[in-house]
Amino acid sequence: MRRGAKPFYGPAAAALARRGVTGNALTTASLGIGALCLLAIAFGFNVLGLVLWLLNRLLDGLDGEVARLRGETSELGSFLDIAADFFMYGGFLVALAVQHPDARLALVVLFFAYYLNGSVFLALSGVLERLKAERLTERGLHFRRSLTEGFETIVAGVLFLVFPDHVATIAWVFAVMVFLSSGQRLLDAWRMLK
């Protein structure tokens, strides 16, 4: 998906880079927009939340590309980017739980799936970095392919906001998918590190 989308977001990233916008500035802007998104969702303003969610995710996709175009990739940028992602993913579920108390169990299970998947991802990335393994992408961390990644999480967020009467069902289905992703990454780790 990332390679296929590059012709669409590449020109925007190039334009921002030419105007002096940095990747870290985009990460910071996306974090502020993300915080507003979470507030909108918690208070039940789903249309506003949807617009802010998509804008947040767009800026998140642009920050790394802008940094690469400017030749300013850094460990700090990679750190800020992944920290902002986890803030959004977890905060999104908390905001939904505020709006939908009847779906809290499903959302907590999905939160646990995120926690497990994120922990496995970061642990494996750290070990692969220490072993100086080849990266599969130009990104700042070792991303191993799995069933649910950024694109799927964006789609899940859209579904949550467009179909508010089905939040629990969407959360249960997506939790299964994220648990499967954790299993994929654990299997990858087992095969690569044993």
Buried residues in 116-130 as b, exposed as e (16+ CB within 10 A): bbbebbeebbeebee
What is the fold of 2-193? Four Helix Bundle (Hemerythrin (Met), subunit A) (1.20.120)
- Higher model confidence: residue 127 or residue 104? 104
Alpha carbon separation from 21 to 5, 68, 70 (Å, rounded): 21, 12, 9
In the block, tokens 């800020």 appear at: 80
pTM assigned to the model: 0.87
pLDDT of residue 83: 92
Q: How confident is the model at residue 149 (pLDDT cuts 50, 70, 90)?
A: confident
In the block, tokens 């859209």 appear at: 158
Q: How confident is the model at residue 77 (pLDDT cuts 50, 70, 90)?
A: confident
pLDDT digits (tens, 9 = 90+) for 9-35: 788 899 999 999 999 999 999 999 999
- Domains of the chain by residue range: 2-193
